Structure 1
């Protein structure tokens, strides 16, 4: 395995060392820690240019290893941020010699200067042609060029978008983070790049659990309608072996494609995916806000954030969803949750409506379900939800409104 750090990083970073040791605990192998600290510590645009130089040097080293008997099929390069593009540049050198690496894992490949081919040609960054398997974990993407350190579009044979590929649970990312980072001494300050760094943390955890059968796995599933359907909670299929794919180190065992999954806010990040759904009451008032639903567990906290937008004064009942990962036991007969509601005005385009926005939400039902067909529910018409927490118990017994 070849481990390649990103901008402002180092081959002796604690995270990189932890990843190498975790891999060596898993199998008898050689680990090459690429340290390009000097090239990565300059201004960002210079570091971007250095990815080609460092990639070419790595390519020459890999050629020497191959000439000494190492099979290119057995080489697995893992690159974080700019390091992912270093791996892509190294692969280009091998391709010119008619050789192809076995695998490259891109951990939230850097976006600034790499977002579009008009700024960066395909051969100067990571893409699916660079190895027999290119798997990518996207954790800090954005449609806005000034926000999000990672590429948001799929670039590999297998692309994973945990929590939709944008802001990760437990992170409060700074808006316009790419711009704000230039005012920070450290580009990867955890307060700015929390979601970006999460890709590395998820991959290391996937190595730790790869050889333990009873450990939680990062099981992922496809969403034919893309990230929007996942973020809205409408893409939540039941488990099937046909769609079985696992994010991280074991990604070479499953089918190719684009996959989504939910992860937890704190280590261990792997959890059981659950979907929370709410059904609003008939004739609800104009509403724009977020309903927070917190699972009360003994071994962790899981909070669902369900965006509720009812732009008209009278509505038929509507259902809203959100997906999160939890440690809740699927055999539980009852789940206790707390619910509260906060108004937001970001989606209101007609400012004359602001005075009409309700500060409360009326619910008919609350549901939680897993991907194995288990379901817990609470039904009670016109329950008033406001900024104060309301505690309710969901049971696995059917109920009617």
Structure 2
């Protein structure tokens, strides 16, 4: 097995240059410059530098800034058997460490300027390298591999001590017995769990004609990924989109994804972090004044993030990044209303910038609503409303369930929903200063205390609750 290091820069964005630190002229005659930040990509099991995602990520990195982008080719050691590939990660980690340490010694590379991005086994390979590089700047782990690593001591797997910043995206954290390939345990300074870090939207093959379309558009290699490891590969796609995307991925520290969806950790007072390429610009990662460089970042002791989980939701296709909206419905309880009703809710939001139509507020089947209480859910959409919501249209459909006799509503019950007001928040961006919500709108019915929404009907609410 021979590990190769292939350099791309803005001067050679498509034709790679082979670097060999043991042959000095390959470095001197290349476009490598120690004054630039260095980004290294390490692929995982049964992968090669020829994989679509490697070239896509490399292209986005080259476009994003003046970087040395180095692809680590260990294809000879990443092929089956998995047990052998796992063993090879230690050797490849040693070679990556030797590569960086030699560039430091002979070519003035500062390890703080090096950022290693590893997928699956490549994430642990980056960890093994980081153990042997003093002052390595950053490692991004993209769904680090679970088998032989989950629950193991820190010296066996990726962990926060491997670099000054270790940020991790978990997308396939089901047990390996349920065909999950990624780790579920936190292993970095910042651990992100999009869509709970287990099942990714768009990866359920029963949802639609995903595979045939992929076969036609992107070839057999990409189709096989969809079939075998769609959730596992999603971490790559999210990171790649984050490099030059305008929509920020904001993760919220929360006890669970269910708490997050219920809007209980919606504001950054609970702790926020930026997922993906720009994770190092997360507030709370502060400059180390004691070192020579101002670019070094690490989590401050006041906001220790190790072991915390950051949750967010994404879309099922490009663009994966979505704007998050918290919708709270305050239910009225007038005389004649049933104590509870069950059914389906959809909402349309209108602001000065545009309209979002028909967002599903009951995505996991019907919901039971108790009059006199409130119902809150976090939903996502690609569109940024860009300001206060001026109008909301709420649609209601009653659901009769034969397994719930009290829900059967034929002659003698009231299937209407009574709504006092609707509150809409857009998720804020994390900032160093005071909490500053992009918008928070309370909407009511004109000249009435509440709206009476019939089955399969709708009602409009406006931002005129000041009366």
Shift of the alpha carbon at 1:132? 1.0
Shift of the alpha carbon at 1:127? 0.8
Query: What corresponds to 1:104 in structure 2?
Result: 139
Alignment map for 1:269-280 (pairs within 5 Å): 269-278=320-329
1:324 counterpart (367, 375, 380): 380
Task: Judge conservation of contact 1:72–1:100 (CA < 8 Å) in 2.
Answer: yes
Query: What corresponds to 2:248 in structure 1?
Result: 217
Alignment map for 1:129-168 (pairs within 5 Å): 129-142=161-174, 146-168=178-200
Query: What corresponds to 2:33 in structure 1?
Result: none
Alignment map for 1:70-85 (pairs within 5 Å): 70-85=109-124
Separation in 1 of the partners of 2:45 and 2:357?
A: 33
SS of 1:221 mapped into structure 2: strand
Distance 1:398 1:315, change over 3 A: closer
Separation in 1 of the partners of 2:79 and 2:317?
A: 29
Task: Judge conservation of contact 1:7–1:82 (CA < 8 Å) in 2.
Answer: yes
Deviations 1:161-213 (A, max 9, x none): 23333333444278xxxxxxxxxx9996214533332221221222114xxxx
**Is structure 2 residue 64 aligned with structure 1 residue 26?**
yes
**Is structure 2 residue 123 aligned with structure 1 residue 123?**
no
Task: Judge conservation of contact 1:278–1:321 (CA < 8 Å) in 2.
Answer: no
Deviations 1:135-159 (A, max 9, x none): 1122232478525332222211112
Q: Which runs of 5+ in 2 are unaligned?
A: 1-38, 207-220, 285-298, 300-304, 410-414, 428-436
Alignment map for 1:87-102 (pairs within 5 Å): 87-92=126-131, 94=132, 99-102=134-137
**Is structure 2 residue 92 aligned with structure 1 residue 54?**
yes
Distance 1:272 1:113, change over 3 A: same
**Aligned pairs, number:** 363
Separation in 1 of the partners of 2:319 and 2:94?
A: 36
Shift of the alpha carbon at 1:341? 7.4
Runs of 4+ in 1 over 6 A off after TM superposition: 185-188, 294-301, 341-344
Distance 1:328 1:186, change over 3 A: closer
Deviations 1:105-158 (A, max 9, x none): 0112122332222xxx42221111111110112223247852533222221111
Distance 1:383 1:337, change over 3 A: closer
Task: Judge conservation of contact 1:364–1:382 (CA < 8 Å) in 2.
Answer: yes
Separation in 2 of the partners of 1:336 and 1:134?
A: 44
Query: What corresponds to 1:364 in structure 2?
Result: 418
Distance 1:38 1:253, change over 3 A: same
Distance 1:362 1:268, change over 3 A: same
Distance 1:141 1:279, change over 3 A: farther
1:5 counterpart (43, 53, 60): 43
Shift of the alpha carbon at 1:87? 0.8
Query: What corresponds to 1:177 in structure 2?
Result: none
Task: Judge conservation of contact 1:141–1:149 (CA < 8 Å) in 2.
Answer: yes
Distance 1:188 1:230, change over 3 A: farther
Query: What corresponds to 2:279 in structure 1?
Result: 251
Alignment map for 1:286-297 (pairs within 5 Å): none
SS of 2:200 mapped into structure 1: coil
Query: What corresponds to 2:263 in structure 1?
Result: 233
